[in-house]
Structure 1
Amino acid sequence: MQVWLVRVVAVVFLGYGAGFVFVPEPLLKAVVGEVPVAASAWIDMRATYGGLSLGVGALLWVLSVNHQTLRSGVLGVVLLMAGMASGRAVGMVVDGTPNGYMVIYLILEVLTAMLGLWAWRSLPRDVGRD
């Protein structure tokens, strides 16, 4: 179960990253309702939303294929999802009323972090330890 959790999250990051590198405009309009104006804003958005997400997805996938690194992959899922949920929650408090996507993302991030924590605690002690 832990392998599949890490791989599903990896695939989501890979898909999200590819979308924001190659077709960012429709994704941004759907998710946040606006698009950047300046070229540097587009470049940074492609790098941050796209490139970073691709890197995270690839790293999680690599961690999921080896018995010795699976524990790190599951912990990575927990920390990534908890970090995203925390940042999103702060944004909702500080910046105002979120759109529906932000609420859905927050719910999914919290649930995935909780599932990841359960999965991490359920790993046999020998997984990922010398």
Structure 2
Amino acid sequence: MRRARIILAIQMLALGGLGLAYFIQPHEMTNASGMLLMSAAAATDVRAYYGGLQIGLAAFLAMALSREDLVRGALTLLVLLYSALGLARIGGLWLDGGAQQTFNLVALLIEAVSLGLAYWALQGLRADLGE
């Protein structure tokens, strides 16, 4: 259980921090990947989707840290989340010619590591429970 809680805490801090950064400074955060926000509507969408969604995920992970019955679900969510993000990013790199996309290659590495850690913690939780 300790491994699971450490992974959840790290993910909570990372997602919460990125979510706040996208909410507070959407232009600066999107510029890192080459996106330009050309209207107020675009900035609001980034604040909501990139900011709000990550803040919401971080809040769920915080709740899971305080409630043992949510730990398995939170880890399962992270495994599914990072699997979907990684596969979609691989698809995008393939469709858009990704050899020169340093930002997306680094993001893919981070997603793969996050997926591996969440899966490792989930497997450890199963072993702790004797499943």
Q: How does the TM-score come out when normalised to structure 2?
A: 0.87
Number of residue pairs aligned between Structure 1 and Structure 2: 126
Deviations 1:58-111 (A, max 9, x none): 111111222221111111211111111111111111122252121111011112
Q: After TM superposition, which residue ranges in structure 1, 4 or more long, deviate above 4 angstroms?
A: none
The two structures, once aligned, show a CA RMSD in angstroms of: 1.7
The structure with the largest helix share of the pair is 2
Letter of the 1:99 partner, please give it.
Answer: Q
* Corresponding residue number in structure 1 for 2:102: 100
* Corresponding residue number in structure 2 for 1:16: 18
Give unpaired runs (5+ residues) of structure 2: none
Q: State percent identity of aligned pairs.
A: 25
* Corresponding residue number in structure 1 for 2:4: 2
* Corresponding residue number in structure 2 for 1:125: 129
Distance 1:34 1:111 in 2: 24
Q: How does the TM-score come out when normalised to structure 1?
A: 0.88
Distance 1:110 1:43 in 2: 29
Shift in Å at residue 125 of structure 1? Answer: 2.1
Contact 1:84 1:109 in 2 (8 A): yes
Give unpaired runs (5+ residues) of structure 1: none
Letter of the 2:121 partner, please give it.
Answer: A
